């Protein structure tokens, strides 16, 4: 891999574009001065002279009375939680340089950087012992978070607690014999442990979340932070009480950050709140702020985006090949492409087995090759059908949902995943009778099942987590007995919206329930991870002696016992990005999908052959010429509506926009004389593959959404949606997207492969190029240095990169940031506090860099609040048709005033970024919230609670996202030459944003759909 240094031009923005023509990427350097820090921690040196802070994930020092901060650590360590050694010479902190958190120390002058702990676990929140010989920290080494300590001299570590709950945020007492820490769980509180005695709980957090105990110099008191119900307080309590409630030190409505305060010798507390470093008497009273400045530089790139064409062209080879499966005889392949199920005799042309506008997915042969099982939504929900290969006769096998069918070895049963959302149950259906039994619930989106040779067990790829404190883990093969009754855990955790005051900050299930009897993890590679929990294996060979799977991006095989346990180390079968392995019936070869083709590997000699798939697609566009007469026109940019306009459409493009002229009304005229025509809406953050079914496309369009962008998806499904839409097989908004997220060594979502080899990044970039991804998403466990490499490599290909993280991505060219909050590896956001407030650092970095912010306020309480305060949102025929009973979310806890304040605070970030000249685009994380509905709700939320002018919100859903993606000359505004993506509204959304609900007609690629047409299920 050649290195590709960015050409840094140390000059002003005016230098942009003056890079030598041979460089495809150039950059301008911007200096930004930070004077506030969102969720920054501070530690005061023992002599009271110097502060250490962790602003934007770097350790800085500054004089204790304020001034200019000096960075001690580089931008790539996500260095946090500084604490001074008792002699004041060194600072301990947690750092992510190694791709997980370890404890590091550095001298106060920035020299002698040293790593104290290492390994695949996360070590956090260091605190020096009073004698300076040890550092306590929290770690997930033991299956939950416990308090550990490391001896500085030797590096030896030992556990200090071993509770079943998570223990974290340690602080040694001044005598060195006591240690304070926090626990979560039902007994959550602030605890003190004396030597080996049982710990006692000094603070009952009463359902709130506690953080960061800090001892007074005399050991008589402990300060801590408690966050609950939109309130964050710093309190002090005596250290020898039981289950008390501290007295509050901070003031009303103060946004105290959840980090350890420092006590001064004169009884003051130095802590962080409201974006500031603050000092206040520990008994309460007037505070004073310690001002600081910190300078950071941003290298912002200019590069040519790789754009796709939307004109009729082709033929192109089909790339959206989904779930290919090799026949037992080894001479045929079934797969999904262009919206249908196909069968192909190897060496011949594929033959379509279905011909309908519905979604097909997950085809699989029976072991005798006489049957195919696959899933389809042709009768509404997605269910499993079986097809007689010889006659083509079909039968619906499940009725309450089913995907991922896998035949038992004797062909009598099919294991599958059923049920909606992330809480998919693993079920078995008897093929002859249709009788269904549930094998397992409570797994978070397990992969496609595979049967043991004796038919008595099933292996699936499942999420193994390191602790219940953070949701990430690795994908590991889990062996489940088929005939064990499922435990009575019917009340499973439901995907719930996270409260705005929590740390977790994203949507997630509770961690995996404990293993049930006779279940066990198959250890192919400790801490290693299978690729996605989908169709990447494990897949048992038909002879039962091997399993194949994808890990580190490539294909592996391992010899296994009849019980599935590995009999030796796995062997690598190839060196290319792989997915979807399936076996030939003789167990001698494996078919797999690599970035842009099908291949087959023979185990005997390692030979790899292409399996040609002679199939192409060509873009189909309408040819009609017609006129839309608009009573009023919002062109996507101008704040003034134009009246009485004729928009001439020819085929899929707008060819003329002009004042009404009678002679233009000669052919077909679409009369929108009492309406307002606007560009179609752009949804920048949704997730949707084939699992969303045929309905999703019509639902999006019915809300006026003509373009969507998915920042994480199954790559082949994303391409299938693009291609099936281009050929007119299914109605859908124009799809921009990517494949799976590029994440680090731990993952959460089923589609995300964990990073376990450095070469994997190159494979991922190649994958992006071959499938023409429109964007790449780096995710939250990826180290910052690798993120930088991904950004540089992606930009070389013209592909933008977005992520959840702001810094240092913003300093190295990341194009976008998703969510005001968003999940993070830290457990707290550095873009927004627990009270939903963002400070100057965030606003300044976003505004000065110009990177896009997709706020998604809806998933952080905005949607629920709006639905509660304006239920007319749901008075709508689209709700009855698309979301019967499912549109309204349960109300959240807490007072309405608090919830409103928190939504207002979060939504206001978008306003401040826009006011400072930054770029806001809109997205919703649908289908967590309903497609389409959630986007118009987000628009109203930002206007009503964020006080963003309606014109800015309309631009942020039309011209601005189009321009940000590089397609400002294709869609998002209305003028001659643009693609004909238009909506006709009943009223003017600039004067009342709720008019965006009133969609009368949608035109996408020149095709006109009335709302009634979009509400209608297509005929088979």
Question: In the complex, what is the shortest distance from the CB of residue 506 to Zn ion, in angstroms, rounded to a whole number?
Answer: 9
Residues linked to residue 26 through DSSP beta bridges, in sequence order? 7, 302
Name which position in 100, 925, 938, 970 contacts Zn ion (CB under 5 A).
925
> What strand order describes the sheet that includes 608-611?
578-583, 589-594, 597-602, 608-611
| Stretch of 70-78, 443-451, 493-501, 642-650 contacting Zn ion, by CB under 5 A | 642-650
Q: Which is nearer to Zn ion, 660 or 1007 (CB)?
A: 660
Is residue 646 at the binding interface for Zn ion, with CB under 5 A as the rule? yes
Residue of 107, 189, 177 whose CA lies nearest to 149:
177
Of 20-28, 166-174, 541-549, 625-633, the window that binds Zn ion (rule: CB under 5 A) is 625-633
Q: Using CB under 5 A, pick the residue from 660, 892, 1000, 1007 that binds Zn ion.
A: 660
CA of 100: how far to CAs of 97, 155, 466, in Å? 7, 18, 12
Least distance in angstroms from the C-beta of 782 to Zn ion:
15
Binding mask 230-269 for Zn ion (x = CB under 5 A): ----------------------------------------
Q: Least distance in Å: CB of 854 to Zn ion?
A: 9
**Cβ 934 to Zn ion shortest distance, Å:** 12
Cα–Cα distance for residue pair 1020/1017, rounded to 1 Å: 9
Of 571-579, 735-743, 923-931, 938-946, which part binds Zn ion (CB under 5 A)? 923-931
CB nearer to Zn ion: give 627 or 731: 627
CA atoms within 13 A on the CB side of 400: 13
Nearest distance in Å: CB 664, Zn ion: 6
Distance separating alpha carbons of residues 951 and 996, to the nearest angstrom: 12
Minimum Å gap between C-beta 471 and Zn ion is 14
In this chain, which stretch among 105-113, 597-605, 627-635, 783-791 interacts with Zn ion, using CB under 5 A? 627-635
The most distant pair of C-alpha atoms in the chain lies apart, rounded to whole Å, by: 93
Find out whether 397 and 413 touch, Cβ atoms under 8 Å.
Answer: no
Strands 852-854, 816-818: pairing kind: parallel
Provide φ and ψ at 791, rounded to 5°. -60, -45
Which stretch, 49-57, 367-375, 775-783, 918-926, contacts Zn ion (CB under 5 A)? Answer: 918-926
Closer to Zn ion by CB, 545 or 660: give it. 660
Residue with structure tokens 């009729």?
A: 312
Q: Applying CB under 5 A, does 683 fall inside the site for Zn ion?
A: no
Percent helix, strand, coil in the chain, to 5, is 15, 35, 50
Sorted by sequence, the CB contacts under 8 Å of residue 551 that are 6+ apart come out as 524, 525, 528, 529, 530, 531, 570, 756
Closest to 776 in 3D by CA, of 862, 695, 700, 715? 715
Residue 415: phi and psi, rounded to 5, are: -90, 145
Q: Which is nearer to Zn ion, 660 or 975 (CB)?
A: 660
Min dist. Cβ of residue 752 to Zn ion (A): 11
Kindly indicate which of the ranges 169-177, 655-663, 689-697, 828-836 contains the residues binding Zn ion, using the contact rule CB under 5 A: 655-663
Q: Is 808 helix (H, G, I), strand (E, B) or coil?
A: coil
Considering the rule CB under 5 A, would residue 709 count as an interface residue with Zn ion? no
Pick the piece of the chain touching Zn ion (CB under 5 A) from 253-261, 624-632, 837-845, 887-895: 624-632
Q: Residue 1000, interface with Zn ion (CB under 5 A)?
A: no
Neighbours of 823 (CB within 10 A): 24
- Between 660 and 892, name the residue whose CB sits nearer to Zn ion: 660
* Of 59-67, 443-451, 516-524, 654-662: span binding Zn ion (CB under 5 A): 654-662
Q: What is the helix (H) or strand (E) element at residue 250, kind and residue range?
A: none
3-state secondary structure 941-1003: HHHHCCCCCHHHHHHHCCHHHHHHCCCCCCCCCCCCCCECCEEEECCCCCCCHHHHHCEEEEE
Enumerate residues 757-776 that contact Zn ion by CB under 5 A: none
The token duo for 340 is 């249908």
Query: Around Cβ 813, how many Cβ atoms within 10 Å?
Result: 24
Pairwise CA distance, residues 60 & 77, whole Å: 13
Q: Rounded to whole angstroms, how far apart are CA atoms 676 and 1011? A: 15
Determine the length of the chain: 1020
Q: How far is the CB of 185 from Zn ion (least distance, A)?
A: 28
Q: Which DSSP string do the residues of 256-280 spell out, in sequence order?
A: B-SS--EE-TTSEEEEEETTEEEEE
Nearer to Zn ion, 62 or 670 (CB): 670
Neighbours of 389 (CB within 10 A): 18
State the nearest-atom distance from the C-beta of 665 to Zn ion, in Å: 6
Show the binding pattern over residues 811-830: x = contacts Zn ion (CB under 5 A), - = does not.
--------------------
Q: Is 561 exposed, middle or buried (0-12, 13-18, 19+ CB in 10 A)?
A: exposed
As a whole number of angstroms, the distance between CA 1010 and CA 988 comes to 19
182 vs 627, which CB is nearer to Zn ion?
627
Q: Interacting stretch for Zn ion, rule CB under 5 A, among 81-89, 524-532, 657-665, 898-906?
A: 657-665
Q: Which is nearer to Zn ion, 646 or 720 (CB)?
A: 646
**Minimum distance between the CB of residue 925 and Zn ion, rounded to whole angstroms?**
4
Q: CB-wise, 655 or 727, nearer to Zn ion?
A: 655
Nearest approach, Cβ of residue 711 and Zn ion (Å): 6
629 vs 767, beta carbon nearer Zn ion: 629
- Least Å distance, CB 779 to Zn ion, is 10
Decide if residue 629 touches Zn ion (CB under 5 A): yes
Helix (H) or strand (E) holding 1013: helix 1011-1015
The CB-of-882 to Zn ion minimum distance in angstroms stands at 21
Report H helices in 95-168.
none
CB of 696 to Zn ion, least distance (A): 15
What's 121's DSSP letter? S
Identity of the residue, 42 or 906, whose beta carbon is nearer to Zn ion in the bound complex: 906
Report, in Å, the least distance between residue 626 CB and Zn ion: 11
Q: Which residue's CB is nearer to Zn ion, number 671 or number 796?
A: 671
Looking at beta carbons only, is 30 or 645 nearer to Zn ion? Answer: 645
> How many residues sit close enough to Zn ion to count as binding (CB under 5 A)?
4
Q: Which of 389, 463 has the CB closer to Zn ion?
A: 463
Q: Which is nearer to Zn ion, 199 or 737 (CB)?
A: 737
- Please state the closest distance from residue 628 (CB atom) to Zn ion, in A: 8
List residues binding Zn ion (CB under 5 A). Answer: 629, 646, 660, 925
């Amino acid at each position: 891999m050649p290195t590709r240094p960015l050409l840094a031009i140390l000059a002003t923005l005016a230098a942009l574009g003056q890079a030598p023509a041979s460089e495809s990427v150039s950059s301008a350097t911007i200096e930004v001065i930070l004077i506030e820090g969102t969720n920054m921690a501070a530690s005061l040196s023992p002599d009271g002279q110097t502060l250490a802070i962790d602003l934007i994930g770097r350790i800085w020092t500054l004089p204790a009375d304020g001034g200019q901060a000096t960075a001690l650590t580089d931008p790539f360590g996500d260095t946090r939680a500084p604490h001074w050694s008792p002699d004041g010479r060194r600072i301990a902190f947690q750092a992510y340089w190694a791709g997980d958190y370890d404890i590091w120390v550095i001298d106060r002058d920035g020299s002698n950087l040293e790593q104290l702990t290492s390994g695949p676990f996360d070590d956090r929140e260091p605190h020096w012992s009073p004698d300076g010989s040890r550092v306590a920290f929290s770690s997930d080494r033991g299956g939950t978070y416990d308090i550990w300590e490391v001896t500085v001299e030797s590096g030896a570590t030992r556990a200090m607690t071993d509770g079943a709950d998570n223990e974290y945020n340690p602080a040694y007492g001044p005598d060195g014999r006591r240690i304070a820490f926090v626990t979560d769980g039902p007994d959550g509180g602030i605890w003190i442990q004396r030597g080996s005695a049982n710990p006692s709980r000094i603070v009952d957090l009463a359902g709130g979340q506690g953080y960061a105990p800090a001892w007074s110099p005399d050991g008589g008191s402990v300060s801590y932070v408690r966050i609950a119900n939109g309130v964050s307080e710093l309190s002090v309590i005596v250290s020898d009480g039981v289950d008390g409630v501290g007295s509050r030190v901070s003031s009303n409505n103060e946004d105290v950050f959840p980090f350890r305060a420092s006590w001064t010798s004169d009884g003051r507390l130095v802590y962080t709140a409201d974006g500031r470093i603050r000092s206040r008497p520990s008994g309460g009273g007037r505070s004073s702020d310690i001002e600081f400045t910190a300078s950071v530089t941003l290298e912002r790139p200019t590069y040519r985006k790789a754009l796709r064409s939307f004109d009729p062209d082709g033929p192109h080879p089909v790339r959206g090949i989904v779930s290919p499966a090799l026949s037992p005889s080894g001479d045929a392949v079934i797969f999904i492409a262009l919206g249908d199920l196909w069968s192909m005799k190897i060496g011949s042309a594929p033959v379509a087995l279905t011909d309908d506008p519905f979604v097909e997915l997950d085809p699989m042969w029976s072991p005798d090759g006489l049957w195919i099982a696959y899933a389809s939504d042709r009768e509404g929900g997605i269910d499993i059908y079986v097809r007689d290969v010889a006659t083509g006769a079909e039968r619906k096998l499940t009725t309450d949902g089913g995907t991922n069918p896998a035949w038992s070895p004797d062909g009598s049963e099919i294991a599958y995943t059923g049920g909606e959302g992330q809480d998919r149950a693993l079920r078995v259906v008897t093929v002859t009778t249709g009788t269904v039994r549930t094998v397992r619930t409570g797994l978070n989106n397990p992969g496609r099942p595979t049967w043991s040779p004796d038919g008595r067990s099933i292996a699936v790829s499942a999420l193994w987590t390191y602790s219940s404190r953070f949701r990430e883990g690795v994908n590991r093969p889990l062996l489940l007995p088929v005939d064990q009754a499922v435990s009575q855990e019917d009340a499973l955790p439901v995907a719930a919206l996270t409260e705005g005051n929590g740390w977790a900050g994203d949507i997630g299930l509770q961690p995996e329930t404990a293993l049930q009897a006779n279940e066990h993890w198959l250890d192919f590679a400790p801490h290693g991870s299978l690729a996605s929990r989908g169709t990447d294996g494990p897949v048992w060979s038909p002879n039962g002696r091997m399993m194949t799977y994808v890990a580190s991006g490539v294909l592996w095989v391992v010899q296994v016992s009849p019980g599935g346990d590995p009999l030796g180390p796995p062997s690598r079968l190839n060196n290319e990005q792989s997915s979807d392995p399936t076996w030939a019936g003789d167990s001698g070869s494996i078919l797999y999908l690599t970035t842009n083709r099908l291949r087959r590997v023979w185990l005997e000699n390692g030979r790899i052959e292409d399996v040609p798939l002679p199939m192409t697609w060509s873009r189909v566009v309408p040819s009609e010429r017609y006129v839309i007469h608009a009573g009023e026109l919002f062109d996507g940019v101008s704040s003034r509506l134009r009246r009485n306009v004729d928009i001439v459409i020819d085929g899929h493009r707008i060819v003329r926009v002009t004042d009404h002229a009678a002679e233009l009304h000669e052919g077909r005229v679409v009369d929108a004389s009492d309406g307002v025509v606007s560009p179609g809406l752009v949804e920048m953050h949704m997730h949707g593959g084939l699992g969303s079914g045929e309905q999703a496309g019509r639902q999006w369009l019915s809300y006026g959404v003509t373009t969507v962008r998915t920042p994480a998806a199954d790559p082949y499904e994303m391409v299938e949606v693009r291609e099936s839409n281009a050929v007119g097989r299914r109605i859908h908004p124009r799809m921009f997207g990517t494949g799976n997220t590029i994440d680090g060594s731990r993952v959460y979502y089923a589609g995300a492969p964990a990073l376990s080899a450095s070469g994997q990044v190159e494979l991922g970039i190649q994958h992006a190029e071959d499938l023409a991804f429109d964007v790449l998403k780096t995710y939250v466990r990826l180290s910052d240095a690798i993120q930088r490499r991904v950004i540089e490599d992606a930009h070389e290909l013209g592909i933008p990169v977005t992520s959840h993280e702001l810094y240092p991505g913003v300093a190295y060219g990341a194009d976008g940031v998703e969510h005001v909050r968003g999940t993070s590896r830290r457990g707290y956001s550095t873009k927004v506090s627990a009270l939903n407030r963002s400070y100057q650092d965030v606003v300044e970095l976003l505004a000065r860099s110009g990177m896009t912010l997709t706020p998604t306020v809806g998933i952080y309480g905005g949607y629920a609040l709006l639905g509660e305060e304006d239920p007319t949102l749901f008075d709508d025929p689209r709700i009855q048709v698309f979301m019967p009973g499912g549109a309204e979310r349960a109300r959240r806890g807490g007072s309405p005033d608090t919830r409103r304040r928190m939504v207002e605070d979060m939504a206001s970030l978008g306003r401040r970024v826009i006011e400072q000249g930054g770029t806001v685009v809109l997205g919703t994380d649908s289908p967590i919230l309903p497609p389409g509905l959630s986007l118009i709700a987000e628009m109203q939320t930002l206007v009503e609670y964020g006080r963003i002018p309606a014109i800015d919100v309309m631009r942020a859903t039309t011209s601005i996202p189009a321009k940000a993606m590089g397609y400002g000359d294709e869609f998002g505004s209305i003028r001659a030459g643009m693609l004909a993506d238009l909506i006709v509204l009943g009223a003017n959304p600039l004067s009342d944003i709720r008019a965006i609900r009133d969609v009368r007609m949608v035109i996408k690629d020149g095709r006109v759909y009335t709302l009634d047409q979009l509400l209608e299920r297509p005929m088979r």
